[in-house]
Structure 1
Amino acid sequence: MAADIAVMAITHAIQQAVAPVFLLAGVGAILNVLANRLSRIVDRSRTLHARLETADDPRRQGIDRELAVLVRRGRVVHRAIGFATTSALLVCIVIATLFISAVAEWNSGLMVAALFVLAMLFLISALIGFLREIQLATRVILNGP
């Protein structure tokens, strides 16, 4: 009978932890998008640096302006990746806390709520960074560097 209770507690813990796992998958997808954007920024920067060596003065100024925008975009994406990664880590802590609290019969409601809100704040910050980087990239396309 005690084994059945333990199995029920573990089953309940797994059920509680499933919802945040879906959130973790979403944050992972956002991290993938951000990493791809950073990779494109780095590739473009390398291309421009190679062109810079052979460019004449007027073209060099245009390349320098574009490189400055790429640096800004890279910094924004880098911060967004940090925020999204922190959000994912906090969600992992939420999942572990939910599991441990269910198995150990520990009331961790306030801690879980605080960690979840913190994870959402970091995710919101990452999404704002993503939006900002998109705005910077679009501005270059529409208006030039």
Structure 2
Amino acid sequence: MAQPIPIDDIAHVIQLSVAPVFLLTGVGALLSVLTSRLARVVDRARRQEDKLEHLSAERQPDVLDELCKLSRRARLMNWSISLVTFCALLVSSVIVVLFGGALYGIDVSLPAAALFVLGLICLIGGLLVFLREIYLATIHLRLGPFQNGARKRK
């Protein structure tokens, strides 16, 4: 008959897995932001594609240029979402490994640490790609009388 696991050991594993669970909560919120941002880019691209059909030949290059920029932004958002999702999978794996180690009495400190570090590297990568997408979204932004940080002269 298998030896029952002491409740203190299970409690300790639960305590160890609290930090990764909080990280998963933050990653989930970040994924929500990223996916809604991607949806906005896709919606904007669809509107531009619909507009393209009704434009004169001299206006089409401007819309095609914007579609090219939107396509690049969508690819960056896909990369960011993929990296952050992979982070969530790795952090979830940390929790599973911690419980598996406790159940089978195995030292899992090295695999758990490696998975956690890899998850954080994916999170950093996803945030860097997201930062690049934000830069591309705002580089040509003009709001009212303000252009390129200076007040538009009359």
Distance (whole Å) between structure 2 residues aligned to residue 18 and residue 117 of structure 1: 16
Greater helix proportion: 1
In the TM superposition, residue 60 of structure 1 has moved relative to its aligned partner by 1.1
Residues 87, 122 of structure 1: 8 Å contact kept = yes
- Offset of residue 102 of structure 1: 2.2
User: May I ask how many residue pairs the two structures share in their alignment?
Assistant: 142
Residue matched to 1:102: 102
Report whether the alignment pairs 1:30 with 2:26: no
- Asked if 1:141 is matched to 2:137, the reply is no
Which has the bigger relative contact order, CA under 8 A and spacing at least 6?
1
- Secondary structure in structure 2 of the residue aligned to 1:57: coil
**Aligned equivalent of 1:125:** 125
Instruction: Name the CA distance, whole Å, in 1 between partners of 2:9 and 2:129.
Output: 40
Q: 2-side partners of 1:34 and 1:109: how far apart?
A: 32
Q: Percent identity?
A: 45
Quick one: distance in 1 between partners of 2:54 and 2:21?
Answer: 51
Give the TM-score of the pair, scaled to structure 1: 0.92
Q: Is the 8 A contact 1:41 1:73 kept in 2?
A: yes
Deviating above 6 A after TM superposition, structure 1's stretches of 4 or more consecutive aligned residues are none
Q: With the length of structure 2 as denominator, give the TM-score of the two structures.
A: 0.86
Gaps of at least 5 residues in structure 1 are none
